Amino acid sequence: MSSLFQNAYYIGINFNAILYGVELVLYGMTMNELVSRRKKWTRTDKVYMAFSTALLVLITIYMSTEAVFGEEMWIVNQNAPGGPLGFLVENADIWYQTMGTTASVILNLCSDALLIYRMYVVWTSLWVIAFPCFLYVATIGLGIIELYASGKPNADFFVGRAQQLGIAYYTTTISLNVIATCVICGRLIYLGRALEAARNTQGRGRGVIRYTGTLPMVVESALPYSMAGFAFLVAYGIESDISILFGALYGMFTCISPQLIVLRVVTGQAWTKDQTAQSLSAMEFENLGASRTAATTTAAQSEGTSTMDHKSVGSVQDMV
């Protein structure tokens, strides 16, 4: 591990602190919205409250262990044999680092589960989520193996067998992220344009922008989560020392992106199954109307042609 790794680690810890503040604000907004209507709580509201709290607890464990390890490496044990880098190599498998990695893996599973559910919401089809569900099951197995490989004595998350298994795990889970992002984005673009076309007015069509605009689409599809994951996977795969920085960003967006989705859901701004059904009904109605218009036009043209033919025949007979 070079000094570049230490610099990237330090910057990552600072970004963790900043983004943790963002998560606290989002969590507070979500809880405030849910508590304000506590007399009308549904089972879904309770699930989202528990889910948001779980995200906060897991991300707190993750970022705290990273910060504590940095303090131990640079301050408490700065004079250890080999300096901070020597301490890093000797203690990469320390128990609380394993705990932080475990929290990160569980956080990934929670976030991916929410993404799969959102895919089902915008598609309302089990076939669409079949392959993502297969990848999800694979991430569970690979995540457990990765935790064992990186947590056993003398193991290091960034080198050796643990790193190879880590590539397999993160390739699977980030592939799931990217697939979910693309599928949700594509579906929202399609449904949004269809709904605007069906309403057939410039003014009323703007109402769907709150669901299909650029910002809502970025949030609904968890785009920052997928982009940070892809950047981390590339850096981790080539064993770059800045992978720790991208890993920190990926870990925080694993929490922030799903929290943003939950916030949009509880405030009534997220895409729902009802809106999917409404869009599909609107498209069917529009297609039916277009078919009827085409049929009416064809009939009118046929009638006009027939009338002209009768007039032409009559004119010829008069001439004769």
Q: What is the residue extent of each domain of the chain?
A: 3-288
Query: Which one has a higher pLDDT value, 23 or 296?
Result: 23
Nearest-angstrom CA–CA distance, 226 and 152: 29
The pTM for the full model equals 0.82
In this prediction, residue 311 carries a pLDDT of 45
Query: Which one has a higher pLDDT value, 221 or 253?
Result: 253
In this prediction, residue 54 carries a pLDDT of 96
In this prediction, residue 210 carries a pLDDT of 58
Contact status, residue 65 vs residue 99, Cβ threshold 8 Å: yes
Query: For residue 232, which of 283, 187, 177 has the smallest C-alpha distance?
Result: 177
Nearest-angstrom CA–CA distance, 26 and 259: 7
Least confident stretch, 98-107, 137-146, 179-188, 211-220? 211-220
In this prediction, residue 18 carries a pLDDT of 95
Query: For residue 13, which of 174, 251, 254 has the smallest C-alpha distance?
Result: 251
Contact status, residue 1 vs residue 240, Cβ threshold 8 Å: no
Torsion sign over Cα 57, 62, 63, 65? positive
Nearest-angstrom CA–CA distance, 139 and 108: 9
High-pLDDT (> 70) share of the chain, % = 79
With 60 as the cut, is the pLDDT of residue 48 above it?
A: yes
Question: What CATH architecture is 3-288?
Answer: Up-down Bundle (1.20)
Query: Which one has a higher pLDDT value, 36 or 193?
Result: 36
